[in-house]
């Protein structure tokens, strides 16, 4: 399943490269709000509060943009494509989960930046380290679970609360996949630096997560139809027959020079 997931995502990214690049450029432009505006405001007005407001607003704006992108690129996972008119139309559905996730990221940032160091340095040290360990592992669990947030909300969610719950269930039930996705996406983002984060970039990571969730849902459809099946032995070869036929295979020549076929 992992091998097919990587192959399908690579094909979809390549076939929609220019659209993915444009979405990434939009995201990079949005990052100017939390990165550059606080610096500019500090040079004009010495106000820590104003700087923090700019950073918070910028993070929320970037999160809303990623949420809108998640709604939009879902069409790519489903063997289609999208127009930028659809992207802007999706904003109406995406702004709320975007703000919620942005707020969650802000909260996590505050906890890791201020709360965690406080407990590490707290006296007595045993109690402080115990609380710090709890916070640390809670943050790790949050990272593993809520990486799926946008994908789950766009495909399954109508409720923010239920989306968070489904993210945790999926992560706990697919621990190996969740760890792999986090590590893989970190590698993808690092490699994206060589392309100025334009490709695959953050939008490529969103597509990869959506592709992973879409394929993983086949497992739950199978278990629902076969309640007595062994959850540890999912017949992925059988479940992915249609997906493999739709995706096909490509030689290196046809992958790089498709017009020559």
Query: Residue 239 is encoded by which pair of tokens?
Result: 């479940």
Mention every residue, 6+ apart, whose C-beta is less than 8 A from residue 51: 38, 41, 42
CB atoms within 10 A of CB 203: 30
pLDDT tens digit sequence for 68-105: 999 999 999 999 999 999 999 999 999 999 999 999 99
* Distance from chain centroid for Cα 127: 34
pLDDT at 53 (0 to 100):
86
Split at pLDDT 50, 70, 90, the class of 55 is confident
Split at pLDDT 50, 70, 90, the class of 259 is low
Mean pLDDT across 25-36: 90
CA-nearest of 35, 99, 37 to 65 is: 99
| Alpha-carbon distances, residue 75 vs 12, 21, 248, 258 (angstroms) | 10, 16, 18, 22
% pLDDT > 90, the chain: 75
- The whole-angstrom separation of Cα 214 and Cα 208 is 10
pLDDT at 257 (0 to 100):
62
pLDDT tens digit sequence for 150-195: 999 999 987 999 999 999 999 999 999 999 999 999 999 999 999 9
Query: Residue 1 is encoded by which pair of tokens?
Result: 């399943």
pLDDT at 35 (0 to 100):
82
- The whole-angstrom separation of Cα 155 and Cα 196 is 30
Domain count, the chain: 1
Task: Give the helix, strand, coil percentages of the chain, each rounded to 5.
Answer: 80, 0, 20
Full domain range(s) for residue 80: 2-260
Kindly tell me if the per-residue pLDDT of 136 is higher than 80.
yes
Region of 159 (left: φ > 0; alpha: ψ -120 to 50; beta: rest) is beta
> Roughly what angle, to the nearest 10 degrees, separates helices 201-225 and 17-30?
110
Q: Annotate 166-177 with DSSP letters as a single string.
A: HHHHHHHHTHHH
Mean pLDDT across 195-217: 96
pTM (predicted TM-score) = 0.93
- The whole-angstrom separation of Cα 86 and Cα 69 is 10
- Reported as type and span, the H/E element at residue 6 is helix 2-15
């Amino acid at each position: 399943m992992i091998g097919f997931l990587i192959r399908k995502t690579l094909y979809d990214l390549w076939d929609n490269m220019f659209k993915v690049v444009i979405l990434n450029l939009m995201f990079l432009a949005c990052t100017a709000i939390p990165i550059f505006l606080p610096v500019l405001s500090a040079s004009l007005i010495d106000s820590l509060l104003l700087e923090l407001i700019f950073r918070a607003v910028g993070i929320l704006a970037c999160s809303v943009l990623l949420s809108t992108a998640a709604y939009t690129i879902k069409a790519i996972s489903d063997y289609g494509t999208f127009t930028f008119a659809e992207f802007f139309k999706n904003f109406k559905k995406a702004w709320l989960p975007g703000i919620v996730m942005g707020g969650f990221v802000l909260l996590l940032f505050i906890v890791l930046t201020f709360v965690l160091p406080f407990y590490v340095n707290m006296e007595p040290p045993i109690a402080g380290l115990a609380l710090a360990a709890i916070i640390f592992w809670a943050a790790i669990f949050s990272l593993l679970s809520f990486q799926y947030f946008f994908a789950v909300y766009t495909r399954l969610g109508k409720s923010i609360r239920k989306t968070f719950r489904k993210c945790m269930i999926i992560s706990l039930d697919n621990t190996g996949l969740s760890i792999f996705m986090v590590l893989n996406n970190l590698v993808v983002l690092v490699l994206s630096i060589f392309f100025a984060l334009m490709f695959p970039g953050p939008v490529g990571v969103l597509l990869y997560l959506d592709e992973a969730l879409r394929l993983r849902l086949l497992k739950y459809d199978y278990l629902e139809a076969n309640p007595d099946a062994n959850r540890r032995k999912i017949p992925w070869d059988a479940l992915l027959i249609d997906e493999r036929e739709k995706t096909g295979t490509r030689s290196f020549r046809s992958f790089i020079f498709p017009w020559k076929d």
